[in-house]
Amino acid sequence: ETGVTQTPRHLVMGMTNKKSLKCEQHLGHNAMYWYKQSAKKPLELMFVYSLEERVENNSVPSRFSPECPNSSHLFLHLHTLQPEDSALYLCASSQDLGQLGMNTEAFFGQGTRLTVV
Amino acid sequence: GQNIDQPTEMTATEGAIVQINCTYQTSGFNGLFWYQQHAGEAPTFLSYNVLDGLEEKGRFSSFLSRSKGYSYLLLKELQMKDSASYLCAVRDEGGGATNKLIFGTGTLLAVQP
């Protein structure tokens, strides 16, 4: 149990479908993140939320739409995806955004393995 | 630009010592993290360095040289369960105190009997 739970674990969707990924953290953290992990590529930061406010949007296509209704929940809404969007989508949380020189480690969920067909 | 380099794969023998290197070039620096990720599982935190030197935690140690843009993770007394991907990540203080982690591609370590 990592304290960060993601559902579903696996998702197969067509290019015209709409689906949502869910993330829930039970750690009392104030910051939450979405990362994309593709084979042979580094983890890519997609979105950052702090106290339910989006503070970072890393040039992500609009077919990915995040939502943070409260500090414990984070969603990633998906629509009209492309096959190249197939990847592992990881959610993470941390106590805060990180102070200079302080270890603010991120806790990751197990991810949603997304396949777009 | 932002760049984190680490070897793609390494192989080592059970009971031995292995060193995984990481070099980085980032616009800012606010700490370096190492994470372990077993196949199909979440990355888990191993270590954090923000000052130069060696941090030891049991069988794992991590070293940082900020002037050289270099870190390594040292694993001693290797066990089969240490077979995993090891991710190096730099926290880039870009435009505010955001916990923006820039990751390398990870080093897949295979421990053999």
Residues A19, A98: Cα–Cα separation, whole Å? 31
**How confident is the model at residue A116, as a pLDDT?**
95
Tokens of A78: 């998906």
Which chain A residue shows the shortest CA-CA distance from B5? A42
Query: Is the pLDDT at A71 greater than 80, yes or no?
Result: yes
Query: Is the pLDDT at A1 greater than 60, yes or no?
Result: no
Percent of chain A whose predicted confidence (pLDDT) is above 90: 67
Q: Which residues of B touch A41 (CB under 8 A)?
A: 105
pLDDT digit of tens for each residue in chain B (113 aa)?
Answer: 678 999 999 999 999 999 999 999 988 888 999 999 998 888 999 999 999 999 999 999 999 999 999 999 999 999 999 999 999 999 877 555 466 788 999 999 999 99
Q: Do A100 and B45 touch (CB under 8 A)?
A: no
Looking at the complex, does the CB of residue A27 fall below 8 Å from at least one CB of chain B? no
- Residue to mutate among B66, B90, B99, B105, with most A CBs inside 10 A, is B99
Residues B82, A58: Cα–Cα separation, whole Å? 33
